[in-house]
Structure 1
Amino acid sequence: MTTPEPSSARRARQAREKRDERQMWMWLAYFLFGIHIVALVMIYAVRHAK
């Protein structure tokens, strides 16, 4: 049987999870933004190729 974690440990874990989740969303946003920049550059290159 597990013992319930203290209130301070629970708050610390929740704060860590919240920070980790925020970092994950920021990484995803940067990744998707980067993909769009690459796609726009490729579209520009193809449309202006001779």
Structure 2
Amino acid sequence: MPTPEEASAEQKRLAQETKNEKLMWWYLAYFLFGIHIIAFVMIFAIKHAK
């Protein structure tokens, strides 16, 4: 059976892992959003080039 210190450390590790995972998803979302903005700007530029 884990000691209270070990259980507390495990809870902290799980909390940090959850936080890191949420951050990773936010970074992925911003990256994909940025890629689409760049693609739309490039499409716009090509369509309006003379």
TM-score, normalising length from structure 2? 0.88
- RMSD of equivalent CA atoms: 1.3
- Deviation of 1:40 (Å): 0.1
For structure 1, the 5+ residue unaligned runs are: none
Number of the residue aligned with 1:28: 28
Matched, 1:49 2:49: yes
- Deviation of 1:41 (Å): 0.1
SS of the equivalent of 1:46 reads helix
For structure 2, the 5+ residue unaligned runs are: none
Q: Distance in 2 between matches of 1:10 and 1:39?
A: 43
- Deviation of 1:21 (Å): 0.5
What percent of counterpart residues are identical?
A: 57
Matched, 1:38 2:38: yes
- Deviation of 1:7 (Å): 0.9
Matching residue's letter, 1:29: A
